[in-house]
Structure formats: C-alpha cells, structure tokens
C-alpha cells in the first residue's frame, strides 16, 4: 500500500532572521521557531494516523520533529529516523549539518535513530553536493525509500528546497520507472 506522506518544512531557525546568518553552521531554532513547533503540535490535523517520523539530520529539523510530534513520540512510542537524503540542498554553512558524532552527543537519550546517517553526509561533495543532478538523485532515492516503507502515514520534516525536489518527483516518478 502506498503511504500517505506529510512533508513539513522546519520551524524558524536563526539563519532565517537575516542573510548574514547564513554563515551560522547548523543553526538552532529561534524562540519563534519553538512557538511554531507548539502551534504545529496543536494544529496538525493528522496526528491520529501518523506511524512514522522521518527528519533531515540537520539540527533545526530534528528539533522541529521532537517538539512538534512530542505527544506522538510519547503516546505511540515513535522514534524519529534521521534521513540524510532529505537534508537541505545548498552548501551554505546554515545548510550543512553537524557530524554524526556531534549529533549523537547532542541528542543522546532522545528517540532518534541515526543509523542511516553516514560519516560523510554533511560533506557537500559527490553524492551530497548541491549540484541539481545529485539533489534530484537523492530526492528520487528518498521517495523510493518512503514508498517501500510498511507504515501507512509518514511525516517527513525537511527543508523548503528539499520539499520542492521531493514533490516535483511525484509527477515524474511513474515516467522514471517506465524508462
């Protein structure tokens, strides 16, 4: 069965406040971003059906997932799968994630599965580069991975540009599989 996928852009991070903040490496959420998480937790209409949480391994998306779906995590025993294929698409410092070791330390004891986060996921070259071909390939792999999941309703907390690539592939996926 094809799962229902809810794509959510992360809450406001410090990099969203001004252009200069694009130089902040892997920024955290602002106070307003935390308020947005609370608003999403209250207003998201599909909590009842959610049976999988997936997040970009960038800190602002992980915190958006933890805060916005705290009740689902506690009551359903859900774990967030950190999935590098849905990370942000540019190589700006604000869009470059922290090392797996730093993430493991910062999120120790939190219900996050980092098993898919490779040692090089945050090095913006090759597979992880900001080149359109690399982004399109990651988006295709992400969509295929999500479609193979056994869960029926999946929340993916990602980024604006990543979300665009993922949704663009919705219309192209049948064509890509027929070639």
Q: pLDDT digits over 131-179, tens only?
A: 988 988 898 899 899 999 999 999 999 986 665 556 655 545 444 444 4
Helix pair 59-68, 31-43: axis angle to 10 deg: 40
Decide: helix, strand or coil at residue 172. helix
Which range has the worst mean pLDDT, 20-24, 31-35, 75-79, 112-116?
20-24
Question: Model pTM greater than 0.75?
Answer: yes
Smallest CA-to-CA distance from 82 within 121, 51, 113 is with 113
Phi, psi of 30 (to 5 degrees): -80, 175
Q: Note the pLDDT of residue 173.
A: 47
Higher pLDDT among residues 9 and 107, named by residue: 107
Q: Measure the CA–CA gap between 100 and 82, rounded to whole angstroms.
A: 10
* CATH superfamily ID and name for 4-177: Phosphoglycerate mutase-like (3.40.50.1240)
Smallest CA-to-CA distance from 158 within 81, 92, 106 is with 81
Q: Note the pLDDT of residue 168.
A: 58
Decide: helix, strand or coil at residue 84. helix
Q: pLDDT digits over 8-58, tens only?
A: 999 999 887 888 989 999 999 999 999 999 999 999 999 999 999 999 999
């Amino acid at each position: 069965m094809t799962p229902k996928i809810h794509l959510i852009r992360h809450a406001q991070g410090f990099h969203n406040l001004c252009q200069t903040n694009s130089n902040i490496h892997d920024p955290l959420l602002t106070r307003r971003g935390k308020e947005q998480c609370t608003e999403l937790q209250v207003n998201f209409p599909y909590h009842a059906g959610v049976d999988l949480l997936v997040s970009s391994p960038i800190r602002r998306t992980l915190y958006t997932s933890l805060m916005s779906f705290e009740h689902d995590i506690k009551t359903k025993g859900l774990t967030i799968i950190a999935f590098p294929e849905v990370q942000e698409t540019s190589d700006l410092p604000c869009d470059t994630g922290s090392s797996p070791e730093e993430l493991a330390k910062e999120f120790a004891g939190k219900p996050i599965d980092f098993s898919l986060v490779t040692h090089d996921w945050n090095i913006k070259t090759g597979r992880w580069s900001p080149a359109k071909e690399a982004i399109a390939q990651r988006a295709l792999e992400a969509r295929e991975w999500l479609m193979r999941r056994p869960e029926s309703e999946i929340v993916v907390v990602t980024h604006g540009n990543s979300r665009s690539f993922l949704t663009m592939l919705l219309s192209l996926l049948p064509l890509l599989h027929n070639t």
